[in-house]
Amino acid sequence: MIFRKLRKSATEISFARKWLLRYLKNRGKTSVLNTSGEKIIIVGNGPSTGEFEFEEFAKLGYNFVCVNFFALDEEKFFSIKPKYYCVSDNAFYDRSRQEKSGETDGFNRLVEILEKVDWEMTFVLAANKEPFFNNRRIAIQKLNLNNYDGSIDWLTLKLYDKNIACFSNILNVVSSALFFCLSGNATEIGLIGAENNIIHQLRVTENNDVLVEREHFYGTSTLNLIERGKVKKGELYKYMQMCSDTFRNYYKLASYAKMKGIPVYNLCMNSLIDVFEKKHASDLLRK
């Protein structure tokens, strides 16, 4: 028992030391987040987003956080006019990655649409990135990169709230958007289009290529992880580890939300995310 406590203490000290080095390196690149008093729906791009009643939630005062390629559905994007837009994938900021993925046209189209935004919107990105568009109507908010892997206690809670520490490897954009809303003190958060059914979408061919059948509200596509350089042949376990880390972050985000007393509802009934209470969107509308 004593040795276990000493080992845990030594681990926490190591986490704190690594965080401090990152903080000193990145100091001044972020500011405190603010979503205080807001009811927010984080809009992932999964199939459930297609049937979501945006108008009804807007009438009840909910704001929306859209992510990644949502704006490519230009009609829906300009209809709901999201208050926030979050993009965390490195490919959005790296032209060579875009060319390698074969999605250059999609990235270019996204830039064109963002340039046309004519309402006040906040764009959320990582502290080491710069926006890839030039629209003065869009404010910029940066999330810190100062990973802290330790347990969540009163001290780390303060660090998260001040946007000077974050969970290790916030790997997907819904996690980033959720951290943004929690750190900023939103009063209530709903998730839609966050199925995270990656396990059901994976397939290995007879040549050991790893394929992902991606489902979005705007269509489906097949991604070859080998060709795109996401994973090497024989190393599917590394991709599965990244998936595991994503769900671990959801677990930590749920703990963070609980400590702050902020309710987070998963509005995707078939989502694999199991740490947030599931509610039908209609139930939330009747609250």
d(CA 149, CA 131): 28
As a whole number, the mean pLDDT across the chain is 89
φ, ψ for residue 204 (rounded to 5)? Answer: -110, 125
Condensed to tens digits (0 to 9), the pLDDT of residues 157-172 reads: 999 999 999 886 556 8
- Of 117, 164, 161, nearest to 136 (Cα)? 117
Q: What is the dihedral of CA 161, 167, 171, 177, to 10 degrees?
A: -20
- What's the domain count of the chain? 1
Query: How many alpha carbons lie under 13 Å from residue 191 in its C-beta half-sphere?
Result: 31
Q: What per-residue confidence (pLDDT) applies to 222?
A: 87
Report if residue 16 sits inside a domain.
no
Report if residue 7 sits inside a domain.
no
d(CA 62, CA 278): 18
Residue 143 CA, distance from chain mean position: 11
Q: What per-residue confidence (pLDDT) applies to 268?
A: 95
Q: What per-residue confidence (pLDDT) applies to 2?
A: 45
Condensed to tens digits (0 to 9), the pLDDT of residues 44-87 reads: 999 999 999 999 999 999 999 999 999 999 999 999 999 999 99
Write the CATH number for 91: 3.90.1480
Report if residue 5 sits inside a domain.
no
Note down the domain range covering 229: 32-285
Q: What per-residue confidence (pLDDT) applies to 6?
A: 42
* 224-230 contacts at long range (C-beta below 8 A, 24 or more positions apart): 228/100, 228/101, 229/100
Report if residue 163 sits inside a domain.
yes
Report if residue 67 sits inside a domain.
yes
Residues of the chain with confidence (pLDDT) below 50: 2-3, 5-6
DSSP classification of residue 285: H
- Contact assessment for residue 127 and residue 30, using Cβ atoms and an 8 Å cutoff: yes
Report if residue 19 sits inside a domain.
no
Q: What per-residue confidence (pLDDT) applies to 168?
A: 67
